[in-house]
Amino acid sequence: MHRLKRLWELVKLFFKALREDGVQYTLHRLVGFLHCRLRSKKGRFLPPRAELERQRREDTSNWPKISICTAIYNTDPVHLKAFLNSFLFQTNQNSELCLADASDSEHADLRQIVADCKSDRIRYLKLDRNGGISENTNAAARLATGSYLALADHDDILSPNACYELAKAAAAGADFIYSDEALFSGDYLRPRVGHFKPDFAPYYLTGCNYICHIAAFPAERFWAVGGLRPEFDGSQDHDLFFRLTEDAKQICHIPRVLYYWRLHEGSTSAGVAAKPYVVEAAKRAIDEHLERIGVRGKAKEGLFPSTYKVDYEIEGSPLISILIPNKDHIEELSRCLESIRKKTSWKNYEILVIENNSEDPQTFSFYEKQQSEHPDLRVVRYEGGFNFSAINNFGRRSARGEYLVLLNNDIEIISPDWIEQMLMLAQQPKVGAVGAMLYYPDDTIQHAGVITGLGGYAGHSHKYAKRGHSGYMFRLATVQDFSAVTAAMMMVSAAAFDQVGGLDESFAVAFNDVDFCLRLRRAGYHVLFTPYAEAYHCESKSRGLDKKGTAKARFEGEQARLKERYGDALLHDPFYNPNLTLDMENFSEAAVLPKYGPADSAK
Rounded to 10°, the helix 236-245/133-142 angle is: 50
Please state which of the ranges 12-16, 107-111, 520-524, 577-581 shows the lowest mean pLDDT: 12-16
What confidence category does residue 26 fall into, taking pLDDT thresholds of 50, 70 and 90?
Answer: low
| Average pLDDT of the residues of the chain | 91
Is the pLDDT at 39 greater than 80? The verdict is no
SS3 501: coil
- Number of Cβ atoms within 10 Å of the Cβ of 1: 5
Residue 540 has what pLDDT?
54
Task: Give me the residue spans of the domains in the chain.
Answer: 58-274, 320-571
Closest CA to 155 of 65, 66, 86, 105: 86
Q: According to the model, what pLDDT value does residue 596 have?
A: 73
pLDDT-derived band at 18 (thresholds 50, 70, 90) equals low
- Tell me the C-alpha distance between 160 and 162, whole Å: 6
537: CB partners within 8 A, 6+ apart = 408, 410, 411, 438, 439, 440, 446, 447, 488, 489
Give the span between the Cα atoms of 111 and 105, in whole angstroms: 11
When pLDDT is averaged across residues 535-542 and rounded to a whole number, the result is: 74
CA-based Rg of the chain, rounded to a whole angstrom? Answer: 26
pLDDT tier at 603, thresholds 50, 70, 90: very low
Residue 330 has φ and ψ, to the nearest 5°, of -70, -20
The CATH number assigned to the domain with range 58-274 reads 3.90.550.10
Lowest mean per-residue pLDDT among 17-26, 46-55, 147-156, 220-229: 17-26
**C-alpha atoms less than 13 angstroms from C-alpha of 543 in its C-beta half-sphere:** 5
Poorest-pLDDT segment among 70-74, 473-477, 533-537, 543-547: 543-547
Separation of alpha carbons 56 and 326, rounded Å: 64
Residue 213 has pLDDT above 90, yes or no: yes
Q: Would you state the pLDDT for residue 201?
A: 98
CB 255 within 8 A of CB 271: no
CA–CA distance, 478 with 313 (Å, rounded to integer):
18
Residue pLDDT, tens place only, 346-395: 999 999 999 999 999 999 999 999 999 999 999 999 998 999 999 999 99
pLDDT digits (tens, 9 = 90+) for 142-190: 999 999 999 999 999 999 999 999 999 999 999 999 999 999 988 888 9
Contact 346, 329 (CB under 8 A): no
Question: Of the ranges 85-94, 189-198, 550-559, which one carries the lowest mean pLDDT score?
Answer: 550-559
**Tally of CB atoms within 10 A around 527:** 25
The whole-model pTM stands at 0.90
At residue 228 the predicted structure's pLDDT band, cuts being 50, 70 and 90, is very high
User: 391 versus 544: which is more confidently predicted?
Assistant: 391
pLDDT band at 16 (very low <50, low <70, confident <90, very high): low
Which of 311-315, 317-321, 364-368, 538-542 has the weakest average pLDDT?
Answer: 538-542
In this predicted structure, the answer to whether residue 546 has a pLDDT above a threshold of 90 is no
Which residues 6+ apart lie within 8 Å of 112 measured at CB?
none
DSSP 442: T
**How many angstroms separate the Cα of 40 from the Cα of each of 33, 51, 131, 133?**
10, 20, 41, 35
Mean pLDDT along residues 433-444: 97
Q: What is the pLDDT of residue 593?
A: 76
Q: Class for domain 320-571, per CATH?
A: alpha beta
User: What is the pLDDT at residue 545?
Assistant: 47
Number of CB atoms found within 10 A of residue 354's CB: 23
Comparing 58-274 with 320-571, is the CATH topology the same? yes
Give the pLDDT confidence score for residue 278 in this predicted structure.
Answer: 87
pLDDT (average), residues 405-428: 98
Predicted confidence at residue 594, as pLDDT, reads: 82
- 260 φ/ψ angles, rounded to the nearest 5 degrees: -115, 120
| Residue 492 near residue 485 (C-beta atoms within 8 A) | no
CA nearest to 83, candidates 40, 117, 129, 60: 117
Least-confidence region, from 266-270, 290-294, 389-393, 452-456: 266-270
| Residues above pLDDT 90, as percent of the chain | 81
CA triple 490-491-495, angle to 5 deg: 130
Report H helices in 123-257: 133-142, 162-171, 202-207, 219-224, 236-245
Residue 352 CA to residue 335 CA, distance in Å, equals 15
Distance CA 15, CA 540 (A): 25
Is residue 50 predicted with pLDDT exceeding 90?
A: yes
Per-residue pLDDT averaged across 412-435, rounded? Answer: 98
* Position 589 pLDDT exceeds 50: yes
Strands (E), 172-229: 176-184, 193-195, 215-218
Mean pLDDT of 546-570: 82
**Is the model's pLDDT at 25 over the cut of 60?**
no
Q: CA 565 to CA 570: how far, in whole Å? A: 9
Q: Please report the pLDDT score of residue 552 as a whole number.
A: 79
Q: Please report the pLDDT score of residue 531 as a whole number.
A: 98
What is the pLDDT at residue 299?
98
**Angle 512-516-517 from CA coordinates, rounded to 5°:** 120
